[in-house]
Chains A and B, each alone.
Chain A
């Protein structure tokens, strides 16, 4: 990204200089010497017009491709990235590690490991911005967005909320602590939480009575959730969807919108009963029940 940035800076300087220099040159060379002076008629030049349309166009095509390819790469997190869950609310960041450690306005991560954030907001739109990682992404209510980065040097870096979110927007800041692998392991141990996210999710799953319908042996009123995460789901109207975080969230908050064939729509909505953080824990639990692609929560 920085290469592109400096290339653009160079380009800007070059053209600014070109225009300024030409103008100054003309300004001096052709300054009005007498009031009676009558300059020659303007000559038009089609080749000149075409060349200054074509050259910038080519440069733009090149810049577009460069920027777009970097963007495309940045939009795809690598397989097996470490996961962090982020909930933004006016005006703080709640972060949770799969192992259960919770942090507020602070995130500890190991160096050289790709980290993928799954983010949502309890209220308005925020934006998780870490200038040092050249990364930012809006954090929306009612939706999951994600971003990923890989820190290359241990240290503390600014975390900013970049989307204006009300009175204390500028206070919605924090730090990303990038640690060496050993320091990070130490930190995890020092802050060991009694429960991993999946375990908290499991506790909720029982407390909210999900387990009365979603039984492992398929005898309940709801579908078996074991081994289901990440698989394709076919809805009653024939629509095919992948069961991902967003799907699961919607299934919990608005089950009627995702009717399955062969099941009676008896699942109640849990809107208002679970917070965004608890939904993330439930999802972690459902993920831990085995998935189509990857299992990562112990």
Chain B
């Protein structure tokens, strides 16, 4: 009964969720918080579709000869997994959900600079997503998410054009979101919110937005060229009429390397917030963490050639790309060291979001260090296009980005919904995910070193043990992802009321009620102090 009593204040107060009802009020909303939820729903759907493809692949690989499907279908599965997870889940994940929700709140603004553009970007995403899903369901594509020419332009007979059209359209939603964030952060900061008083999450959002705006047009061009080549045989990638298939790889990776940082930078931003809050400490080296985000964004544009060391690119180009790839590792290392140092003499508690954050640091460290193997020319020659690479980037993208995403969702869930979920279940899920993840991907490092190439529907028998381990891990990981889905949904209805600041966190978003009113703040906040004032005595919250 106590919950029923506690519910009353929430229901009686006006906030963005109960300000209006009905499907229209959602589909035509310009409220950044509602748009964030629209994104949350759609990317969750995409996540489970992409995840289902992964589960089928792992099941298939239990037997060397393939346990489940024909090679053709297997190829379609990994293409679908890659396309959906990269373009329709990881890229929008943190920016479009938490970013949308938090960027205005964290700077004390009422909305993003262009609220209608924000809604448009969701529709663009949905359109791109729908076209891609159509392509995948009505027969699939088997080019891999990398669409390498001339395979994609002249040889495969599957739905390449529809898929690349979907990816092309979806690119605009990234660009719009990026523009919106950049303008908002420049122009809409509340009085007193100087750049150096901004939460670190915003620095990472800003860096991410720069990549969105600068890199996405290039993938759009690459996709258009694929379509043009297939339909009109313009010959850009066709060596038979003087084209260059390697050119496609340059275009593709010019986007797709920075995109890795689109995925991980927001995660780093989230983790910076979580670590400070649950250690009750101002971040160690705030300015280093902030500027390293910008450094990463910048250098990330000049390392694409490390995907092409054995593509016939010149040896000297290889040198430059290798050196720069080592250079991009430094800012990431700076962050890891600073997070660790932030814990020093803290008051650390281990609620679920913190577990995700610590998981992130560990897995990201491993993913980052194994990246050095691939930045180093000689070792990359052996490891390139093997399972080592798969393991490496899953440590970054799943162990890193997805962990941070879940950590962020758990951290701001009470703010978003006004309800608390069950912390015990959440911790259990974090643990299951951590274990499942490592069991899935650690064996893949070994497979890669032993020489198993990626994208193999069948493989020599000697690789079976490690593959079976990996598949076992994947089933644990899959279960792990289902648990939060259940208890988070459950909490919306039955969870206890959260209050404005359940974690004792600092930051403007915690000074307004949960869920926040449509305009975020009763009155525009004024900022008079540095961020993360955990050492200062508690002051009263609204």
Q: In the bound complex, do residue B535 and residue A42 qualify as a contact, i.e. CB atoms below 8 Å apart?
A: yes
- Verify if B366 is at the interface (C-beta below 8 Å from A): yes
B217 at the binding interface (Cβ < 8 Å) = no
Bound-complex Cα distance A1 to B377 (A): 10
If A56-B329, A71-B315, A158-B460 touch, whether A42 touches B283 (CB-CB below 8 Å) is yes
User: Is B346 a contact of A124 with CB atoms below 8 Å?
Assistant: no
- Chain B residues with Cβ below 8 Å from A162 are 384-386, 453-454
Contact partners of A142 in chain B: CB under 8 A? 239-240, 245
Given contacts A38-B347, A71-B381, contact A167 B281 (CB under 8 A): no
Tell me if B525 is interfacial: C-beta within 8 Å of chain A. Answer: no
Q: Which residue of B lies closest to A142 (CB)?
A: B239
Closest to B366 in A: A16
Contact B343 A26 (CB under 8 A): yes
Instruction: Give the contacts of B359-376 with A (CB-CB under 8 A).
Output: 361-362, 365-366, 369-370, 372-373, 375-376
> Are the C-beta atoms of A132 and B285 separated by less than 8 Å?
no
Interface flags, A156-189, vs B, CB<8A=1, else 0: 0010111111111111010000000000000000
Contacts of B376 in A (CB 8 A): 4, 8, 63-64, 66-67
Q: CA–CA, A40 to B281, complex, Å? A: 8
Contacts of A138 in B (CB 8 A): 310-312
Note all chain A residues with C-beta closer than 8 A to B449: 5
Interface size on A, residues (CB 8 A): 78
How many whole Å from A6's CB to the nearest CB in chain B?
10
> Is the pair A30, B318 in contact by a Cβ cutoff of 8 Å?
no
Residues of B within 8 A of A71 (CB): 309, 315, 318, 322, 377-378, 381
Interface status of B6 (Cβ within 8 A of chain A): no
| Interface pair B535/A19, CB less than 8 Å apart | no
CA distance A136 to B347 in the complex (A): 51
Q: At the interface, yes or no: B534 with Cβ under 8 Å from chain A?
A: yes
Of B281, B327, B361, B450, the contact of A39 (CB 8 Å cutoff)? B281
- Of A47-55, A104-112, A200-208, A214-222, the one contacting chain B is A47-55
Q: Are A37 and B151 in contact (CB under 8 A)?
A: no
Query: A271 contacts which chain B residues (CB < 8 A)?
Result: 240
Q: Distance in Å from the Cβ of B25 to the closest Cβ of chain A?
A: 40
Q: Is B75 interfacial (CB-CB < 8 Å)?
A: yes
Residues of A within 8 A of B309 (CB): 71
Is there contact, CB below 8 Å, between B455 and A26? no
Contact across chains for B386 and A52 when beta carbons are under 8 A apart = no
**Which of A56, A63, A161, A171 is close to B458, meaning CB atoms less than 8 Å apart?**
A171
Q: State whether A11 touches B369 (Cβ < 8 A).
A: yes
* CB atoms of A171 and B348 under 8 A apart: no
Residues of A within 8 A of B375 (CB): 63-64, 67
Decide if B330 touches A57 in the complex (CB within 8 Å): yes
Determine the chain B residues whose CB is within 8 A of the CB of A74 once the complex forms.
Answer: 378, 381
Q: Known: A19-B336, A162-B386. Is A8-B150 also a contact (CB below 8 A)?
A: no
For A90, the closest partner residue in chain B by CB is B155
Q: Which residues of chain B are within 8 angstroms of A251 by Cβ–Cβ distance?
A: none
Contacts of A123 in B (CB 8 A): 150, 154-155
How many positions in chain B have a CB within 8 Å of any CB in the partner chain? 88
Asked whether B156 is an interface residue with its Cβ less than 8 Å from the other chain, the reply is: yes
Contact (Cβ within 8 A) A8 B280: no
Q: A224 near B: Cβ within 8 Å?
A: no
Which residues 19-55 of A sit at the B interface, judged by CB distance below 8 A? 19-20, 22-23, 26-27, 30-33, 37-42, 44-45, 48-49, 52-53
CB–CB A40/B345 < 8 A = yes
Is B283 a contact of A129 with CB atoms below 8 Å? no
Q: In the complex the two chains form, what is the Cα distance from A137 to B315 in whole Å?
A: 12
Instruction: Produce 1/0 per residue, A102-140, CB < 8 A to B.
Output: 000000000000000000000111010101101111101
Count of inter-chain pairs, beta carbons less than 8 A: 252
Q: Is the Cβ of A1 less than 8 Å from the Cβ of B369?
A: no
Give Cα distance in the complex from A138 to B385, angstroms.
11
Give Cα A173 to B534, complex, Å.
60
Q: Tell me the residues in window 260-288 of chain B with beta carbons closer than 8 Å to chain A beta carbons.
A: 279-285, 288
Q: Would you list which residues of chain B between 133 and 160 have a CB under 8 Å from chain A?
A: 142, 144, 146, 148, 150-151, 154-156
The distance in angstroms between the C-alpha atoms of A63 and B380, with both chains bound, is: 12
**Cβ–Cβ contact B315 & A72, under 8 A:** yes
B490 at interface by CB-CB < 8 Å: no
Q: A64-B322, A90-B155 are in contact. Are A12 and B381 (CB under 8 A)?
A: no
Taking a contact as CB atoms closer than 8 A, the residue among B72, B156, B245, B336 that contacts A140 in the complex is: B245
**Interface contact A12-B372, CB-CB below 8 Å:** yes
A166-B156 in contact given A56-B329, A64-B323, A132-B451 (Cβ < 8 Å): yes
Is A60 positioned at the interface, with any CB of B under 8 Å from its CB?
Answer: yes
Q: Which of A26, A32, A166 has a CB less than 8 Å from the CB of B142?
A: A166
Q: A71-B381, A141-B245 are in contact. List 15 more A-B contacts (CB 8 A).
A: A8-B372, A19-B336, A30-B279, A31-B350, A39-B346, A39-B347, A49-B285, A60-B330, A125-B148, A129-B453, A141-B239, A142-B240, A163-B385, A164-B151, A171-B458
B-side residues, CB < 8 A to A, are 71-72, 75, 142, 144, 146, 148, 150-151, 154-156, 239-240, 242, 245-246, 279-285, 288, 309-312, 315, 318-319, 322-323, 326-327, 329-330, 333-334, 336-338, 340-350, 358, 361-362, 365-366, 369-370, 372-373, 375-382, 384-386, 449-451, 453-460, 534-535, 537
Give me 27 A-to-B residue pairs in the complex whose CB atoms sit less than 8 angstroms apart, sorted by A's number. Answer: A1-B378, A5-B373, A8-B376, A8-B379, A19-B361, A19-B365, A26-B348, A27-B343, A30-B348, A32-B349, A39-B279, A39-B346, A42-B284, A56-B330, A63-B372, A64-B323, A66-B378, A67-B379, A68-B377, A70-B378, A74-B378, A124-B151, A140-B312, A164-B146, A166-B151, A166-B156, A170-B455
Shortest 9 CB-CB distances between A and B: which pairs?
A: A131-B451, A142-B239, A67-B376, A71-B377, A70-B378, A170-B456, A41-B535, A26-B343, A60-B326
